[in-house]
Amino acid sequence: MDGEIDIDSFNANLDEYTRLFHQLLPSKKIVNVFKPYNNQSPTKFADAYKSMSNFTFQLVGTDICHFSSDGVNITKSLVDNLKSASLRKISIAKHKGTQQHIELIRRNAQTLEVIHIKNVTTHALVKMTYRGAHKGTLVYPRLRELYITSCAGYRSLKHNQPTCDPFPALRVLDCQGHFPFATSVVLDCGRSHISVLRIDADRHLLDILDESGILEDGSFKYLNLMSLGWRHRVATPRDEHANQLFVKALNMAPFASTVENCGLRIVNFAENILPKINFSDHLRTLNLEGTFLTMKDAVKLLSKFKRLDTAYVSLNEEPAASTVRMPTVEELQGYQSELKAFSFSNVSVLNVRHANYKNSRRAAEFLVLMTSIMTSIKKINLGRKHVTRPDSIVRRVSYVLRRPIYKTDDYVNSVEYAVEALHCF
């Protein structure tokens, strides 16, 4: 849009486009609305932007089932326009301004099955379950999946908290950022029906849930996937807080097939964490991306799970390591002897997300050493995003395998090494 705009002609063109759009798509059920990049000043073309906004919402119609918006503010006119719709899925990202996006969700509480919401405040989310003064909790009887990303703000009892289960059919609760609810009601009630739970548990939330016993060992018996890690927060949990999250995630869901413990700065693993873990026979996948362990600690942990097949790890040098040279044969044999009791593992695929070693050769040395101890490993995938020079590490593996200690080891020589492709979106 360069220069001046004839707003009457502009509107006439939009009206004609709307007519043709409805003619071509009379029975649309899914509508995605997004704001394209534009470097023009929004104030200079205020009337045109207003017309475009109204035009966009005219296209939506009233009979849709799925509505998605990205960078387009939800207005009262759109909410009113969709008052007769029975939306089953809503996805809202980058909404700013009024609370109309929450009002749109509230109006469809009886029919919604899936909600995705990004960049939202805790107050707005709590308001989503608030029916009104003295009217109790607004219940979403059919909601199966709730995804919250980049939730910010302060958790407060002053905001009207749900008094009963607002999501009785919920199967997936995925909250990245600040968990909005200041009481344990949602998680307490959810223990009987939630099968996938991902939350970032800060200290305050951990205290709330500990007081009510929500995170006790075995408290979530129906979970298939459990994550108490730190995926979308700046202040990474460390020390005792991180240690608590690590243990709770593994112990509170005894039948989970997947557990994620990501982004935790744990300390004194062998002394303060390992003895407290209840090693489940049901766990098949363990994701420890961003939670750093030494090779020795990783072996001790992974080998204890009898059915664990796939692991994601972030590896660090041993604390005392200060050399850049390759380990001697005597040092390698020392590791093998020390960890012999942990050699009976089931892990076949090891995904290395970080490998913090002094150089590529040392990284290759310790990866090969790990396969000589955990002989169940069939494949090692190196992540390209965070692993420094992964292709160089793979090349150096071939040199490591020529060492006399490995030359005749069939298990070690049969392991496949690969570098994951970097996907661009």
Please give the pLDDT value at position 22: 59
- Containing H/E element for 57? helix 46-60
Kindly tell me if the per-residue pLDDT of 8 is higher than 70.
no
Q: What is the pLDDT of residues 137-196, one digit of tens each?
A: 999 999 999 999 988 888 877 768 899 999 999 999 999 888 999 889 999 999 999 999
Please report, for residues 35, 193, 394, the alpha-carbon distance to residue 47 in angstroms, rounded to integers and kept in the order given: 16, 49, 59
For residues 371 and 117, give the distance between their C-alpha atoms in angstroms, rounded to a whole number: 43
What own/partner pairs with CB < 8 Å and gap ≥ 24 does 127-136 have? 127/99, 127/102, 127/159, 127/160, 128/102, 129/162, 129/166, 130/160, 136/163, 136/164
pLDDT at 392 exceeding the cut of 50 = yes
348 phi and psi angles, rounded to 5 deg: -105, -30
144: number of Cβ within 10 Å: 16
Residue 327: DSSP 8-state = P
pLDDT of residue 18 exceeding 80: no
Pick the closest to residue 388 from 337, 334, 352, 424 (CA basis): 352
CB atoms within 10 A of CB 322: 8
For the chain, the structural domain boundaries read 284-425
What lies within 8 Å, CB to CB, of 24 at 6+ separation is none
Residue 46, pLDDT > 70, answer: no
SS3 352: strand
Per-chain mean pLDDT for the chain: 86
pTM of the model: 0.86
Q: What is the pLDDT of residue 132?
A: 76
Q: How do residues 367-391 score in pLDDT, each as one tens digit?
A: 999 999 999 999 999 999 999 999 9
177 sits in the region (left: phi over 0; alpha: psi -120 to 50; else beta) called: left
